[in-house]
């Protein structure tokens, strides 16, 4: 049965779902890496596909941008479609000069000032954690593909554009140890926790708040192939 945001029938979505923010990144992954991909969702253009990767059934679906959006889609995948594991595969802005464009970052935890967890379940933790099992699978996959990654605390922000009076990234790095910023993992990890499911977040550095280098919109859609391949290999270990 469908939901207000997902037209898939029960059984059309695999147990492991890769979840980029951008639905066109989901389309690219399905068309580039999956065999026989079938589209299961077009509601709001939040494309979702199921296909096989090296013989294993895997799904990929966009989450949209921000915690309210991934909050809806991940909750429905976990609770309505019996999905066991979601690996977010996102873009992120670097808070430190040590991270460069296209570097991979695996979230060891997500710090946020967001009220998502408090509002959703009364959880007042400012750090939400990924599944240790899923992080282990991602690290194993990255090592076997010889793709270096940095495992570190990330910032899940509600804000993309800050005004100049806010000393954003320096403070988040100095006070909370966040090496980069994205906008969804805190809510995803929280939903997995309250529903007894598994989640992780693998990121590609798309821009730097320190050096102001940046990738294009098209590169964010289709060039983060190291991240895609690592996530697909990890999914094989989790399916």
Ligand X SMILES: O=c1cc[nH]c(=O)[nH]1
| Residues tagged active-site | 207
Residue from 84, 182, 221, 233 in contact with ligand X (CB under 6 A): 182
User: Would you tell me which residues interact with ligand R1P (CB under 6 A)?
Assistant: 20-22, 65, 90-91, 160, 182-184, 220
Please tell me the number of Cα atoms within 13 Å of 98 on its side-chain side: 9
Per rule CB under 6 A, is residue 66 in the interface with ligand X? no
Q: Which does 20 bind (CB under 5 to 8 A by kind): ligand X, ligand R1P, none?
A: ligand R1P
- 58 DSSP assignment: E
Per rule CB under 6 A, is residue 181 in the interface with ligand X? yes
Nearer to ligand R1P, 83 or 187 (CB): 187
Nearer to ligand R1P, 115 or 144 (CB): 115
Q: Which does 207 bind (CB under 5 to 8 A by kind): ligand X, ligand R1P, none?
A: ligand X
Residue from 183, 199, 202, 231 in contact with ligand X (CB under 6 A): 183
Neighbouring C-beta atoms of residue 64, cutoff 10 Å? 20
Backbone angles phi, psi at 147, to 5 degrees: -110, 110
- 9 DSSP assignment: P
Counting Cβ atoms within 10 Å, is residue 32 exposed (0-12), middle (13-18) or buried (19+)?
A: exposed
Nearer to ligand R1P, 8 or 231 (CB): 231
Total residues binding ligand X (CB under 6 A): 9
Q: Which residues in this chain contact ligand X in the complex, by CB under 6 A?
A: 91-93, 160, 181-183, 206-207
């Amino acid at each position: 049965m469908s939901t207000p945001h997902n037209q898939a029938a029960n059984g059309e979505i695999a147990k492991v779902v890769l979840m980029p923010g951008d639905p066109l990144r989901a389309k690219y992954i399905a068309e580039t890496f999956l065999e026989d991909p079938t589209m299961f969702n077009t509601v709001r253009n939040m494309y979702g596909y199921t296909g096989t990767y090296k013989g294993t059934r895997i799904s990929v679906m966009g989450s949209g941008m921000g915690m309210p959006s991934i909050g809806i889609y991940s909750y429905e995948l976990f609770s309505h479609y019996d999905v066991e594991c979601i690996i977010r595969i996102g873009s992120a802005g670097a808070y430190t000069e040590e991270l460069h464009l296209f570097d991979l970052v695996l979230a060891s935890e997500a710090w946020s000032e967001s009220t998502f967890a408090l509002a959703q379940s009364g959880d007042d933790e400012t750090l939400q954690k990924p599944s240790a099992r899923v992080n282990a699978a991602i690290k194993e996959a990255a090592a076997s593909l010889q793709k270096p990654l940095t495992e570190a605390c990330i910032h899940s922000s509600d804000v993309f554009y800050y005004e100049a009076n806010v000393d954003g990234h320096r403070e988040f790095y100095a006070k909370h140890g966040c090496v980069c910023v994205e906008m969804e993992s805190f809510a995803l990890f929280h939903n997995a926790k309250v529903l007894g499911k598994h989640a992780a977040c693998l990121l590609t550095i798309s821009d730097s708040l320190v050096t102001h280098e940046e990738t294009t919109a098209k590169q964010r859609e289709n060039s983060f192939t190291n991240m895609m391949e690592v996530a697909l290999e990890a999914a094989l270990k989790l399916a």
